[in-house]
Amino acid sequence: MTLAPPPAGERTTLTAVGTTAGTEISRLQRGYLGQRSDAVAALARLRRGAGRDASAVPDLWGLLDVDPLYEQPDLHQTRAENALYTAMTLWAVHQQSQGNPMHRRSQELGAAVRQLMRAGEIDGAILKRFVRTGTAPTLTLLSVRLRELVTLLRRDGIGLDYAVLADQLYWWQFPGRADGVRRAWGRSFHAFRRDAETSPPADGPTTS
């Protein structure tokens, strides 16, 4: 029996998808920032999978520890793996050539995108990209459009909570649940206030 998604817009504890993403990214992020050759190589492999179906990129198989996903029988396994790999590949693009951690807790997608804009202004081109991302009809196309946003975030050194994103990508795949994810992105965009901006912890998933 597959775990039923929470009501749209309801804030819940992360599933094993989000916690696994947070654990794996934190591990690789520490290694990458420490210039460990194995972590640098792993990120290069992950980047090659960005915007592509994970099942079509054999180089990713065995790269991540996905055992926690299979320890949760109520997860939809295919959707869980799809979400995990998508989030991990996007983070690898985001972290490339960055000396600071780009996985940052409590920084949701909408708030991160809002920081691309000047205080008190709405950048029409960036807003259009954000809206297009929300209208993607498939996970593969969603990944492509998220990559466009992630590239902009990397340019400006703006971090993102990839544990939360992984969980959102998991729920997004359930029929009728994409709207709830889009609403969460929109809320975090409109709720962000630059004068309240802080520097959240870099490592580890958000769990509440």
Residue pLDDT, tens place only, 46-102: 998 887 776 677 777 778 888 899 898 889 999 999 999 999 999 999 999 999 999
Indicate if the pLDDT at residue 149 is higher than 50: yes
- The domains found in the chain, sorted by start residue, are 16-193 (1.10.520.40)
Q: What pLDDT does residue 73 have?
A: 87
Closest CA to 191 of 103, 130, 107, 128: 107
Lowest-confidence range among 62-66, 97-101, 142-146, 184-188?
Answer: 62-66
Q: What pTM does this model have?
A: 0.85
Coil/strand/helix, residue 103: strand
CA distance 94 to 120: 26
For residue 6, pLDDT over 60 is answered with: no
Lowest mean pLDDT segment, chosen from 1-15, 35-49, 131-145, 187-201: 1-15
